[in-house]
Each structure stands twice: as structure tokens, then as C-alpha cells.
Amino acid sequence: MYYTSTRNNSVKLTASQAIIKGISDEGGLTVPNDFPTVTIQDISRMVNFSYKETAKFILKKFLDDFSEDDIDECVESAYKSEKFSSPDIAPVVNIDEFRNILELWHGPTCAFKDMALQLLPHLMKVAAKKSANGKKIIILVATSGDTGKAALEGFKDVENTQIFVFYPEKGVSDIQKLQMQTQEGNNVSVAAVRGNFDDAQSAVKVIFTDQEIKNKLKLHNMLFSSANSINWGRLVPQIVYYFSSYCSLVSKGIIQVGEKVNFTVPTGNFGNILAAFFAETMGLPVNKLICASNSNNILTDFLTTGVYDINREFYTTTSPSMDILISSNLERLLYCLSDRDEILVNKLMKDLSATGIYTINDNLLNKIQRCFCAGWASEKNVADTIKKYFEKYGYLMDTHTAAAVYVYDEYRNKTNDDTPTIIDSTASPYKFAGDVASAILGSENVKNRDPKEVLNEISKMPVPSPISNLGKKNIRFKNTCEKDNIMDFLETQLGI
């Protein structure tokens, strides 16, 4: 098995190289040349596996240049019980006959990005030994909030790595800023950048491709890598919980091994739902993958019409991690379902950067629609759903999850599809406490109160310790730099 590129079929990389590189040299994304398979017998065995055992089983199929011991060690370090507040790591909560919620937010930053970013640093450490001569890995992240904190927590004190996170001075929420400024660890740096997210992101991209600084790093036995969701090392850990949640429905007696389920996923960059598609490709019995968006409903339009058009208004919503117009990981789906047509993928991506639009033909659209359907939730739909599920079932959910639940409910009303469904819950309701409390009680009743206390009072659900402890921590990072000074800042910090 090897990894190739969505834009060049002649690329051949080992798993380690794919993880260290993050992106292929010509700008394509890495995918396995052939997907490993999982049989129904394998799934029957997995029903009795712990989350860690399932993770080891799946990872070993993809990371074939890692030793079994390497993988065991990475998984054990990533999913330690002191880091995850649930012994199941990713528990499934049954709501009713059809609805099951897969909670992916029990990790250290209370959002689903922990599921992959707790593991990626360990995978990188091993990969660097194999394919980068033991060079120290320097991770650069430009973040609009969630990814930065999850990456900091993941890379914190991981040997032979160092991480720099840049966030826009005025572009993140107060909780997110505090989460990053108080970050612990001996190999972490955080700085605000004067400007917006695009300024921070383009400054970081320039550094990634600057030959002079790359040469300097080389002299000091270091190299750059990235922790964002185009890295294969972030997708593969996400495949695991599609298997574990399926097995959980079997354990609960909701399905028999071999029966199909639907997955509904609140989607931004298309990484999470793509992992579900890869699980299906490997042999997991799936009926439909339901892609949920918020008012930035570009994916709903694409999956229904085959036209991807970013020339539209951008909305800032209460589910900010889904506020995205360019869903990078869609490129991997186009490649896989067009029978690896690199010429087509190059053309579509060129169209996208030149005009902001691409259109796929009916044949490819039909193939996509056999697996996927899509819908979106307005801001009112999101708030109403939070309130309805809290009042009817006593279940508290965040804004991103609510978008997915709404889209699933609409799907079921329209189709009467009785397939049991797993809905991904991607953030703790406490991470978006203000919007969640307002949805249930009305904003006028939450004003001047700490929304976390309000939620705790009405639900009795404990405030997760990473959020309740935030106020007690020291602020370590108060740096602000101009976007033109990021390079100097890095060189000083690295001593190169």
C-alpha cells in the first residue's frame, strides 16, 4: 500500500511521508492507492473492543510502515483516561428509536478536533524518525479558534516537536483566546496577529513556502509541518469512531451486525464526513451519509446540483466551525468517486481558484448522491432544535450538533427512512454556553449572568473541567505581532 496525490497519480509516498508532508508537492491531497477492507466478521469481533483496541485495529490497516508497537504506543498516549472525561472516549447516547448521538467532545478542549489532534502528534513523532531522519518538527497553525487550542493540547510536551499558533487579535471569542493564552507546555508558543484570520493564514502560508527559512531549519535539523485537516494523519483517527459507534449500536441491541445505519455530520471542511465515507469504503454497512450545514449552505447546493459556487454571501453564525466556503477535503471525494481522475481534479481545482465555481457532470453527481444527501439549518432552526430536544428529551446539545439534528429530522420527515441513525455531536454545549442558554431560556433571561452557571442549573450536567478551570490559570502568552513580523518572531523563538 502507498499514498498518492489527488492531482498526480504518479506520486508514491509511505504513510509516514504522507503524514510528515501534510500536502503533496503539487498541491494535491494524499489518499491511499487502495482502501484496506474490514469484513463483517471483523466487525463482529470489534463489538467487544475498547475504543483504543478499535483505534489500533484501524490504524494498523492504514499505517503499514509503522510497527505494531509504535501504533500501540501512539494510541495509548493519545486516549489516556486523564485526558478524556468518558471511559468510552466517544460514547453513543440513544435518544429514541432512530436517533443516536455520538459525542465526540469528551477530550481536553471539549470539541471533536481532539479525537484526531490528540493522536496526530504521536504519529508525527514516529513518522519523523522513519522519514525525516529524526528532524525536529515545527508545527505552524493559523487558527480562527478551535483548531489552535486542540493542536496546542495535542502537541504539548510531545518530544521532538514544537508548535506555534497564530490567531487574529480580534477574530476569536474570549473563551477561545483565554484557552490559548493560558496554554501549558514547554514546546508551545502562541501569538496574536494584528489583522483578521485571512491575514494570519496568509502570513503563515508565506512562511511554509519560504525557501530561505526552510534552509535555515534544515541546518538546525528541523522541518515544518501542518496540523490542519488536509493532513492524512488527521483523517485516519476519525475513521475509528465510525466503526466504534456502529459497534456500540450492536452492543445496545439497536442493530444486528451487517445492518445498515445512516450518519449525520455537521460539516465545515468536509473532513469528518469524509472519514465516514472512507469507513463505508472499507466495508462498514452504511445507508446514507447526511451532510449538515448552517446558513453557509454551499455544500447543500453542491450535493444537490453538482455546482460548487463560492461567489455568495458569507454569514457569521452561532456555529462558527461550520462557517466555511472552501471545503478542502471535498477534493478527496471527487478524486475517489471519479475513479481517480487526476486530470478532472486538476481542472476543477483550477476552475475554483480562477472563477470560484466548478461544475461536475451528472455521472459523478449520481455517484456522489448514491452515498450522500444534504441539508442546512438556519439560525432559528438551530436555536429551536436546542430548545426542543432539551425540553422533550432532557438532552443538551451545542449549536453545531443542533444543525445536524435539525437536518436529520427534516431528512426523516421527507423520506420516512427508518434506518437507525448516528448523529455526530462535535462540541460540548458548554463551549457555546451563551448561545445554548439563550436558545432555551431566551436571551433576555440570560443577560448579565454566566451562561455556564445557567446551563448547569437547568441541566445538572457538570461543567467540563477544562472550561471551569480556565479562570484559575495564568496567562502565559500576551504577544501580539504584526503580520509582517511573524517570520522574525519565529526565528527568534527557534534560535535560528
Ligand X SMILES: *Cc1c(COP(=O)(O)O)cnc(C)c1O
> Which stretch in 27-35, 52-60, 270-278, 409-417 sits in contact with ligand X by CB under 6 A?
270-278
Distance CA 418, CA 287 (A): 11
Residue with smaller CB distance to ligand X, 162 or 426: 426
- Work out how close the CB of 136 gets to ligand X at its nearest, in angstroms, rounded to a whole number: 28
Closer residue to ligand X, CB minimum distance, 189 or 426? 426
- Going from the C-alpha of 457 to that of each of 95, 428, 452, the distances in angstroms are 22, 16, 9
Closest to ligand X by CB, 112 or 224: 112
**Mask of contacts with ligand X, 362-401, x by CB under 6 A?**
--------------------------------------x-
**Binders of ligand X in range 5-24 (CB under 6 A):** none
Q: Which of 111, 247, 365, 440 binds ligand X (CB under 6 A)?
A: 111
b/e for 344-374, b at 16 or more Cβ within 10 A? bbbebbeebeeeeebebeeebbebbeebbbb
Q: Which DSSP symbol is given to 484?
A: G
Which CB atom, from 262 or from 321, has the smaller least distance to ligand X? 321
4 in contact with ligand X (CB under 6 A): no
Among 271, 420, 434, 464, binds ligand X (CB under 6 A): 271
Q: Which is nearer to ligand X, 138 or 382 (CB)?
A: 382
Cite the DSSP H helix spans in 395-464: 399-415, 433-441, 451-459
Query: Site size for ligand X, by CB under 6 A?
Result: 17
Q: Does 177 bind ligand X (CB under 6 A)?
A: no
Task: Out of 264, 300, 321, 338, point to the residue binding ligand X (CB under 6 A).
Answer: 321
Q: How far is CA 404 from CA 235, 266, 327, 337, 380, in A?
A: 20, 5, 17, 24, 14
The C-alpha atoms of residue 271 and residue 177 are separated, in whole angstroms, by 24
- Contacting residue, 139, 303, 322, 446, with ligand X by CB under 6 A: 322
**Residue 85: left if φ>0, alpha if ψ -120 to 50, beta else—which one?**
alpha
Query: Segment 399-438, which members bind ligand X (CB under 6 A)?
Result: 400, 426-427
Contacts of 454 (CB under 8 A, 6+ apart): 433, 437, 441, 446
**Which of residues 91, 171, 268, 420 is near ligand X by CB under 6 A?**
268
Q: 143 or 187: whose CB is closer to ligand X? A: 143
User: Rounded to 5 degrees, what angle do the CA atoms 256, 260, 266 make?
Assistant: 125
Alpha helices in 156-270 (DSSP H): 174-181, 197-208, 211-219, 232-251
Interface pick for ligand X out of 17, 269, 297, 421 (rule CB under 6 A): 269
Residues that bind ligand X (CB under 6 A): 111-113, 146, 229, 266-272, 321-322, 400, 426-427
